[in-house]
Amino acid sequence: MTTHPVAVAADGEPGGPRVRELGEEALLAAFVPLLPTGRRTLVGVGDDAAVVAAPDGRFVVSTDVLVEDHHFRRTWSTGYDVGWRAANQNLADVAAMGAEPTVLVVALVVPPDLEVSWLVDLARGLADAVGPHGVGVVGGDLSAGEKVVVAVTVHGDLAGRRPVLRNGARPGDVVALAGVVGRSAAGLALLEAGLGGVGGDATEYLELVAAYLRPDPPITAGPEAAGAGATAMIDLSDGLLRDAGRVAGSSGVVVDLDALDRVLESDLLAVAEAAEAVGADPLRWVLTGGEDHALVATFPAETPLPADFRPIGHVHAPSQGAPAGSVLVQGGRPPVTGLGWDHFAGA
């Protein structure tokens, strides 16, 4: 997945120069050369703005922000982890529209006492995440603040395809999943329980911790779904139930998941041992845990699913007992409470 080993950041001061000891120009010179230009960039870093080719005549744009101690902790996450995660959560948004990501613009807020090496590591994480997709990092902004904030804006190219929106699901469609669910939530729970390992020591839960620190979304599956005729699609950033409900609500339909122990068997098995270790319900992680950045799409019943997708349910018309926007499991209520992550409610 990456050239850097996954490790939970260790406590203590790693040393090296701090941001405050370098001027802005020297600080930029320390990490900007690490960032890739990308295949669509005509004018990159160095001017007041970048110029990017948009041969389709349209471009897809989205933005996300990571705030220290809200979305990540530096005691857990290396700079590389944060860079990787910031890039991939944005790439997944573009993929969910059926587009191919082209460039990122990154705005950073950093405390003056932050180690320059942490910031350089963040640039390496960004570069390694976007490099395989031919995506460039073409500019942004740099400012001082009390905590690290990483704001990323991503652009994408539809390559002549129609964008796949949330409002296109129709009764009779198949609901399909690309990627995994529950692993990121498991990794976060393990870190909170002190079972994630420190300083890069291998643990039996390392793969789950990695899923939280460095999600690996199925980026290429988005354009493939669009090409195959997907009627609706969404990035699972806030949990399967919540995000599938957003598709159902936008489309005026009901999403009905099939037997969970069959369609989500591999996801449940992957987190079962960790759930037992921390006294959690693995089904809750799989249904409501966010930040795996899998893709859920709906397809007409007669459409062959792209290779990265597996069927997990069906779309129904709303009824008196299941209004538009409902997410059911085999026709009934989901077997867990809550829907998933809410940025302001905190759950």
Same domain, 198 and 51: no
Quick check: is 6 in a domain?
no
Quick check: is 165 in a domain?
no
CATH code of the domain in which 30 resides: 3.30.1330.10
Quick check: is 345 in a domain?
no
Quick check: is 347 in a domain?
no
Q: Tell me: the pLDDT tens digits for 230-243? A: 999 999 999 999 99
Quick check: is 90 in a domain?
yes
Going 18 to 20 to 22 to 25, the CA torsion angle's sign is: positive
Same domain, 146 and 285: no
Same domain, 117 and 222: no
Same domain, 194 and 126: no
Same domain, 91 and 128: yes
Same domain, 88 and 207: no
- The residues, any chain, with a CB within 8 Å of residue 32's CB and separated by 6 or more, are 45, 123
Domain hosting 111: range is 19-157
The pLDDT-based confidence of 261 (bands split at 50, 70, 90) is very high
Total domains, the chain: 2
Quick check: is 339 in a domain?
no
| Spatial separation of the C-alpha atoms in residues 120 and 111, rounded to whole Å | 14
The pLDDT-based confidence of 197 (bands split at 50, 70, 90) is low
Same domain, 220 and 309: yes
Quick check: is 8 in a domain?
no
pTM, full prediction: 0.90
CA dihedral 40, 46, 49, 52 (to 10 degrees): -10
CATH code of the domain in which 230 resides: 3.90.650.10
The pLDDT of residue 102: 96
Same domain, 181 and 322: yes
Same domain, 41 and 101: yes
* Buried-state track 125-151, b at ≥16 Cβ within 10 A, e below 16: bbbbbbbebebbbbbbebeeeeebbbb
Quick check: is 1 in a domain?
no
Report the candidate in 180, 178, 196, 197 with the shortest Cα–Cα distance to residue 188: 196
The pLDDT of residue 44: 81
H helices of the chain, where? 24-31, 79-95, 116-130, 183-192, 206-213, 221-228, 240-251, 260-263, 265-278, 282-288
The pLDDT of residue 345: 53
Q: Tell me: the pLDDT tens digits for 105-114? A: 999 999 999 9
Same domain, 59 and 89: yes
The pLDDT of residue 104: 97
Mean pLDDT of 98-125: 96
Same domain, 77 and 219: no
Same domain, 319 and 193: yes
